Amino acid sequence: MIRVGLGLRDVRNFREGVFLSSPPCFTAFTSSQTNNLHPAGILSFFYIYKTFEEEWSLFLTSPPPTIPPRKLHILRTLHTPLLLRTEPLLRDLSFYFSLPTPHSALDKFSIPTTPARIAYANHIREAIKKEPLVIIAYAHNMYLALFAGGKIIKSKMLSQVGFFPQMEGMTSEECQKLGMNLFMWEVEQGKEEVVRGGFKRRLASVEGKIEEEEKKAIIAESREIFIQNGKLIEELDRLTRERGSTCSAVTWLVWILMALASWLAYRVCAQVLASVVVVM
């Protein structure tokens, strides 16, 4: 009998090799760096959320005839409109790229163009096509990361002078709200935990309906999220260096949020894989 937990070594090695050897730059940076580079990070996030949320929606609106009713029930139960981030990200993109409407942002950024973004989006589609329930891995890691780090990141954004582009006829506070949609939830202020708690309760309610092989696929995809996020961060750092900046909003904010999502994925692997045993 061999513990599958040994497979966690790959994730641990990647974490130590990429995240710990290339720590983010948390020092201050100029407003010109911020305004030029933060949108690139938002755009990378956009393609992650857009891709898995589109695939999820397709399963609910036009389910393939081959999907078992049990899986469809799980996906319907977990689908939470308040958590969806594609529309909020489109509002952020329209603000940072000075586009007239979120629809204009969708037209402009409908298809990823950088290698890491393209590869990640393609991977998400292929993984979901192979096993629809790996959507759970994306929902768990990418949504809960926002709750885990959203307050910290918003505070850092607000503390940087000149972080938000200024719009004619609008106050600084109004501009700030236009640039933080990713971290905003359509509930009363202070009630954000209700959204997070509701998702976790629904996840607990369907856990018993997920078969062992499906759980293993979800765990494996959590590890892949960790790895793909790392590749996306590496690409953003490269883009940052090409623009002549050594310390950017991309490195600072994107690293934090993606690292949080990756940490959640790592924790899932650590907790679950350690308890799974395969008979050889």
User: What pLDDT digit, counting tens, does each position of 141-162 carry?
Assistant: 899 888 877 777 777 777 776 7
pLDDT band (50, 70, 90) for residue 261: low
Percent of the chain with pLDDT over 90: 43
Which residue carries 């857009």 as its tokens? 50
Nearest to 51 by CA among 112, 121, 113: 121
Q: What's the pTM value of the predicted model, to 2 decimals? A: 0.81
What is the arithmetic mean of pLDDT over 226-240?
A: 83
